[in-house]
Amino acid sequence: MHNLVIDIGNTNNKLAVFHNRELVEYQVIKKITPQPLSRLINLYKIDYSTISSVAGELNEVIDVLKKHTNYLEFSTGLNTGIKNHYGTPGSLGLDRWAKVIAANHYYSGRDCFIIDAGTCITYDLLNNQAEYYGGSISPGIGMRFEAVNHYTGRLPKVDWNGEAAEIPRGTNTISAIKNGVLQGVVNEITGFITYQNERNKGLTVLITGGDAGFLLEQLKNSIFAPQIIHDPYLVLKGLNEVIAFEYVQKD
């Protein structure tokens, strides 16, 4: 069985082909269009497909998937055995829900704290009883650099390329902004992990997202390092898991 799963985010679009639960193709592309999507479907003889999207209209893409595959409309109403206590499930981000689903399968029976360092930084806890109550959302690194420039009269815009480098000392305006934003994010994340560690012994921390490499570099010598797992495909794995649950496990 070959599954095509697509994660459309605020910055990048990611797609993956799974053979059952084995990842056999992974792409990051700026825009997903019908023609190359059709070629990929034909190449792998795709059986099932689904999408997680933060964007608006995807009619052309969905039409291709419906025409050539068994298309599953992904929503927070789909569940693989998680006790979802989120107060407004209809407003829960599909990418957040997909990550929780992936954690529930791949790290079953653990307290999982999921950090996604993308356009926004999201924090979600799935406890060892497969209970999900929600989490937190804060501005991502790039958004913080943008805000410093946008909401001030004289502070410059500092470009962030995502490189896993040392945090500079604030010896001039540019380095002071970099230090404030980057050290602030690291302090925020270590604070969240500390808070969760105090309440969940044996915590597993999962990090994903475009800025995960930078965070891992900053945390590699911390006391948290042994419990941190970098899983860049967490959303895609969760989407694939929903297909497996809906189409295979229920058959």
CB 204 within 8 A of CB 107: yes
Instruction: Give the active site residues.
Output: 95
Which 8-state DSSP code applies to residue 32? -
Cβ atoms < 10 Å from Cβ of 149? 14
**Which tokens go with 67?**
């025409």
228: how many CB neighbours lie within 10 A of its CB?
Answer: 20
Q: What letter does residue 156 receive in the DSSP assignment?
A: P
What are the C-alpha distances in Å from 84 to residues 76, 87, 158?
A: 9, 9, 39
Bridge-based pairing of strands 112-117 and 204-208 is parallel
Element (H, E) at 228: strand 228-230
